[in-house]
Amino acid sequence: MEIFLGIDVGSVSTKLAAMDCRRELVASAYMPTRGQPIEMVQRGLAEVKSKLPPDAVISGVATTGSARYLAGVIAGADLVKNEITSHAIAALHCVPGVQTVIEIGGQDSKIIIIRDGIVNDFGMNTVCAAGTGSFLDHQALRLNLGIEELSRRALTSTNPVRIAGRCTVFAESDMVHKQQIGHRTEDILLGLCQALVRNYLSNVGIGKEIKPPVVFQGGVAYNQAIVRAFREELGTEITVPQSPAIMGAFGAALLAHEEMSHNHKVSNFNGFGVVETYYHTSSFICKSCPNQCEIAQLAQNSHILARWGGRCDIWENQPDKTGP
């Protein structure tokens, strides 16, 4: 049984998706990264292996996300792709005619504009997290609510109040004010969801022509109150895939399938034995030119496996070159 594996390692969560030759999802894993991308990739591989049939053979691997190069070295990736491409491919697989992809995760968000099946434009959030999942997590914690309960109660609101959502600090003070003057908690919660949507559209989506069909991906897409807020703000239906949180990993798996099927190559997959391997990461400043790039490196038993992070490829092309 041929399996194609996608690995998406972000700052908040690590996702893995395994699909078969029919491009159907057969196994997945989702876990918080917690600043430990190596350990989470290893744990995710172990979890996926436990869910696959005994005759499964990994025929292709692709990585994506902020730690895609690190994950690629550990897993033995055949392909390393950025998040924009991975999410776009996944959305096109679910909704072939999609023209807009909204993706919101824990600490980042992006919008992808697709025309005629090709990425035409995209935008990503800046350093502010007010249009991401952490914005809601922070407010839910202050109200002593789980994020699921926040979503459920927000959906019962019939008269949402307007919350200043341009900044988490301002939103919190505005929430306190609205509570003090007697607004219902449910109305404040839906107001928070609407504030997140307004922030996303005025920051990430600014200047973008949002056309239907619209696909909503990322962990925040599980929140039906956010889906409702987007639907009302944009005046169009919002499609949420069955597993929105792992769509980046699923898109990577689709790309791995395309790459390996087209080139008829043997996969570089390092095998599930890497879950027992100890890796060491470090970094140094390259002094080859005035840029002084910080070069990250991955080692196993004092042997350098890979280096990345420079503006040029001097270290990527020579991983065994002696560092400073």
**For 127-203, which CATH class?**
alpha beta
- When pLDDT is cut at 50, 70 and 90, the band that residue 105 belongs to is confident
Q: Are 187 and 161 in contact (CB under 8 A)?
A: yes
With b for 16 or more beta-carbon neighbours within 10 A and e for fewer, the 190-217 pattern comes to bbbbbbbbbbbbebbbeebebebbbbbb
In one letter, which amino acid is 309? Answer: G
Fold matches, 2-87+248-276 and 127-203: yes
CA atoms within 13 Å, Cβ hemisphere of 6:
36
Domain-wise residue ranges, the chain? 2-87+248-276, 127-203, 278-324
Each residue of 23-53: pLDDT tens digit?
Answer: 999 999 999 888 889 999 999 999 999 999 9
Average of per-residue pLDDT across 114-140: 80
Contacts of 321 (CB under 8 A, 6+ apart): 315
Nearest to 103 by CA among 12, 167, 164: 12
In the predicted structure, residue 262 carries a pLDDT above the cut 80: yes
Average pLDDT value over all residues in the chain? 89
Average of per-residue pLDDT across 100-113: 89
pLDDT value at position 324? 61
The reported pTM is 0.87
Q: Are 275 and 42 in contact (CB under 8 A)?
A: yes
Say which range, 62-71, 91-100, 176-185, has the weakest mean pLDDT: 176-185
**For 2-87+248-276, which CATH class?**
alpha beta
Give me the phi and psi of 71, to 5 degrees please: -65, -35
Residue 15 neighbours by CB distance under 10 Å: 28
With b for 16 or more beta-carbon neighbours within 10 A and e for fewer, the 56-88 pattern comes to bebbbbbbbbbbbbbbbbbbebbbbbebbbbbb
In this structure, what is the dihedral angle of CA atoms 192, 194, 198, 200, given to the nearest 10 degrees?
70
Q: Are 193 and 225 in contact (CB under 8 A)?
A: yes
pLDDT value at position 263? 77
In one letter, which amino acid is 77? Answer: A
